[in-house]
Structure 1
Amino acid sequence: MIDGRPYRQAGVGDLRTGGVICVADHASNHVPAGVELGIDRSLLNDHIAIDIGVEGVADRLARRHGLPAHIASVSRLVCDFNRDEEDPAAVPTTSDGHLIPGNIGADVEARLDRFHRPYHDALADFVAAARPRLIVALHSFTPALKTSDQERPWEVALLYNEDDRAARHAIRMLGQQGLNVGDNEPYSGKDLNATMNRHAEANGIPYCAIEIRQDQIATEAGQARWAMLLADVMGRVALEV
């Protein structure tokens, strides 16, 4: 966390309106002082704590490709920003078969007030200042969950709820790159789309909620490749919506 904030922003020094911005809800595995999760610290490097590779992609998009970014600086196990406040999983007690004992009986209201609300208030201000043509929400997913032996063949996927304007263009354009592109896979945006529901759909702003398979962006080289690819594709999507 920077100055106690549960987020940081990159590439906003010369923020221009009408462009493309980026949001990364699960970019960090940081556990702030005063929060005890009660888990083995090795799990903080696991997908249950962080969307592996996303921070590197978001930073490159912001600093090298001109897509300003709003980036979480707190682990999703502390507070999941891509959940509504009333969702019990906003402060999760289990994740992919792992118990999070420190969250059982936690003061949820205090967690929301310390992390969730400042994160989304700042994101709302960011969106209002940028007046973006397109919002890109970045996430990553595991090749397979520990609780399932089903492989996930998609290299990248687009999630959406009601507004699929940008997703349709992105699915087509990414497919033209020879990628196996998921359509509301491995999760459905009909069920899990809280941040984009609130900041994009509610404001009529087209968006692409992108899930990249983690093995694609586990290295700096992979992150650089995907940042370049997404900057190109998202720029072209923005011209179509």
Structure 2
Amino acid sequence: MRDSPNGPLLTPDDPPPVQVINPSGASRFLLLGDHAGNIVPAALRSLGVGPGELSRHIGWDIGIAGLGEALAAMLDATFIRQTYSRLVIDCNRDPGAIDAMPAVSDGTVVPANAALDPDDRAARVAAIHTPYQTAIAAELARRDAAGVTTELVSLHSFTPTMRGFARPWEIGVLHDRGNLSLAHRTLARLNAMSGLTVGDNEPYRMDSIDYTIPRHAGPDRPYLELEIRQDLLATPAGIAEWADRIADLLAD
């Protein structure tokens, strides 16, 4: 499916795999967007799927690019976001995992992922996954060396329904192990808000499948993984509303 099987995956005409928004942000929060983009490298020819598929939740986390940029401005925080579609490679998965480059996603066949050889997989890891994870590690190392306390906030969104089942939560807080202080504080504040249905490890659990937060938070760094329902982020007004709400949560 690549035009140049032996050449680089990304060319000068492709955008860089990582975008760092507000790199000099003074906030203790470091915002992350594992699935904030839905671009496909030109060499992969749209992966053999239509643009409508790339715009669905299988292509990216709807609304997260705008939400992360809004929060970066409101909190004076740095936002590190991934550029390419999760169908090219999922940066919140171990690069060796089968579902890091899924052949089928929520019923949609991805032809370019059907028969990847080791070289194809390695090219995607080297071009996209590694630079993204390296950018996060470098920013944390810089802050640690400067004696700056950092709390990680990973931003995600989820579909209102999955396999025919409605998901009633407006927002979910995912956590597993390590320093849970930020996650627990956030859960408590969300649960105190009237009119919100809050998921505690719903609609997903953070577990061994997740890659970014476990890799960079380790046992000691406070972290928070937020999942927001995608219909609530479908418009600029919705993104602005949730940016206000989350900024208030984090600023306290």
TM-score, reference length from structure 1: 0.90
User: Within 5 Å, which residues of 2 pair with 1:1-241?
Assistant: 4-12=15-23, 14-16=24-26, 19-36=28-45, 37-106=47-116, 107-131=120-144, 132-145=149-162, 148-163=163-178, 164-178=180-194, 179-201=196-218, 204-236=220-252
CA contact (8 A) 2:14 2:41 kept: no
Q: Please, which moves more after superposition, 29-38 or 151-160?
A: 29-38
Which amino acid is the alignment partner of residue 214 of structure 2? N
* d(CA) in 1 for partners of 2:212, 2:243: 21
How many angstroms does 1:15 deviate by? 3.3
* d(CA) in 1 for partners of 2:15, 2:139: 18
**Number of aligned positions between the proteins:** 231
Match of 1:35, SS state, is helix
CA RMSD of aligned residues (A): 1.7
* d(CA) in 1 for partners of 2:38, 2:25: 27
Match of 1:5, SS state, is coil
Q: Which runs of 5+ in 2 are unaligned?
A: 1-9
* d(CA) in 2 for partners of 1:227, 1:201: 27
Which amino acid is the alignment partner of residue 117 of structure 1? T
**Residue-by-residue CA offset, 1:1-50 (whole Å, 9 max, x unaligned):** 997421101111x333x711100110111111111311122111100001
Which amino acid is the alignment partner of residue 40 of structure 2? V
